[in-house]
Amino acid sequence: MAVRLQWCMSLCAPDFPDAAYEALRQRVPDATPFNTLAWLRAAEHALQSGTTLQVLLGWQDGQLCLCLPLIACRERFAGLPFRVVRHLGYPLADRVALLACLDSDSLQQGLRAIRQHLPHAVLQLNELPQAPDQPGTLSPWMPLSSTGEWRLSCRVPVHLISDSDRQEVPGDQRYKLRRARKRITACGAQIKRLAPDALTIGPLLQAISEVEAASWKGDEGVGIFSGAHHRHWMNEAFTRLAALGLVRVVLLELDGRCISYRLGLLEQGRLYDYNLAYLPQHADLGSGRVLLEEWIRWGLDEGWQWIDASRVSLNNSGHQLHERMTGQLEHWRWSFYSWRPSGICLGLGLRCWHYLKPRLRAWRAWRVAAREPVVAKNPVAGTHPEEGEHASSSHRQR
């Protein structure tokens, strides 16, 4: 059955089909709070100059079966500007389901419409939960692209809440939790559970943003509240989500002041652990692990099913839910390079990089191995083998 495609300039337009959109979102099993109009409209209001929004709608028999809010801007690759199209909400949306209930032919029709209406070098959709071998993915777009790629973004730890969580955790984690609770009790701090609404979330967001600003995330500028642009976006997004009853917070208070928190979104029995921070002077309390345990206890009290890490780094993730996880979910990044000269050039560059990367890595390993005997025979006086080595990360840690 043919799909009728329609372009809309804004999610906030008076004629945007709110009810039809929500009905479509409810039909997609992988939909998350980052697919809600509350989140997406806040993201639209936070768009910066030079970025445009176009929303592709698809209809069949009067029913909305496709909604893709797309942003287009220029990004630099190897110093050269290319036009890139992404899903609205990038890069702060942790998991975004593709809201499409279409067959393969209709999906291909949608890609052709995007390329005609939004000419680009590459269309990239991040944090999609559908694996490439599952039905309903974007695989039909691959043959229509000069270069197509899917890549694993991360493996998210999740915890299935069960009656066994009413007992103490086994092994080393038990003693870590006990020690952390003793330190928290000794200093007089208290744990609080909060489910703010639109009227009460404002002061709460102010308090937790101050904690983040004082933490290492604020120092490195990688927090969700870092900078006026992100702060305005998050304040509006969480105010809208709180009005829907989706926001949950567990925090640690000392003398009436928040010193540590975990911020999450709850929908359909799944708690997405979105963001956390703590004051550096209280780092020795181990509050993050205790507050994660509080999520699980809250879930037991109210019948939640899952605690979800929302997003983690693909490599070397330090999320504490890894200690309690009962499963993992994968996020995928899909990239489709157009047949425009810019898309062909960018796609060829990607293929060359994939060809050269393992060879470059092997060459570097060979050079390190070749140098090792020399270093052993001629050590630098007064230099410790580990001196100057350090680990750093520019990824946003939530």
pLDDT of 377: 44
State what percent of residues in the chain have pLDDT above 70: 93
Q: What is the DSSP pairing of strand 327-337 with strand 147-160?
A: antiparallel
CA distance 197 to 331: 30
Q: Read off the pLDDT of residues 148-168 as tens digits, 9 standing for 90 and up.
A: 999 999 999 999 999 999 999
Q: What is the mean pLDDT of residues 214-240?
A: 95
- Listed range (104-118, 203-217, 366-380) with the worst mean pLDDT: 366-380
- What does the mean pLDDT of the chain come to? 91
pLDDT at 134: 83
Separation CA 288–CA 291 (nearest Å) = 5
* pLDDT 10s digits, 260-300: 999 999 999 999 999 999 999 999 999 999 999 999 999 99
User: What's residue 315's pLDDT?
Assistant: 85
Residue extents of the structural domains in the chain = 4-153+331-353, 162-304
Q: Are 100 and 56 in contact (CB under 8 A)?
A: no
Q: How confident is the model at residue 338 (pLDDT cuts 50, 70, 90)?
A: very high
pLDDT value of residue 49: 93
pLDDT digits (tens, 9 = 90+) for 87-108: 999 999 999 999 999 999 999 9
Q: What distance in Å separates the CA atoms of residue 124 and residue 333, rounded to the nearest whole number?
A: 7
Q: Which of 313, 346, 342 is nearest to 149 (CA)?
A: 346
CA–CA separation, 360 and 368 (whole Å): 12
Please state the rounded mean pLDDT for residues 326-335: 96
Say which residue, 383 or 190, is predicted with more confidence.
190
Answer whether residue 392 shows pLDDT above 50.
Answer: no
Tokens standing for 316? 């070397």
- Residue 290 has which token pair? 């205790």
Find the mean pLDDT for residues 230-244.
Answer: 97
- CATH top-level class of 4-153+331-353: alpha beta
CA 284 to the chain's CA centroid: 27
Asked if 4-153+331-353 and 162-304 have one fold, the answer is yes
pLDDT given for residue 336 in this prediction? 97
Class of domain 162-304: alpha beta
Q: How far apart are the first and last CA of the chain?
A: 43
Would you state the pLDDT for residue 357? Answer: 87
Return all residues near 106 (Cβ < 8 A) that are at least 6 apart.
1, 2, 3, 58, 60, 65, 66
pLDDT of residue 1: 64
Torsion 39-40-42-47 (CA) sign: positive
Cis peptide before 91 (omega within 30 of 0): yes
Phi/psi at 363 (nearest 5 deg)?
Answer: -65, -40
pTM of the model as a whole: 0.88
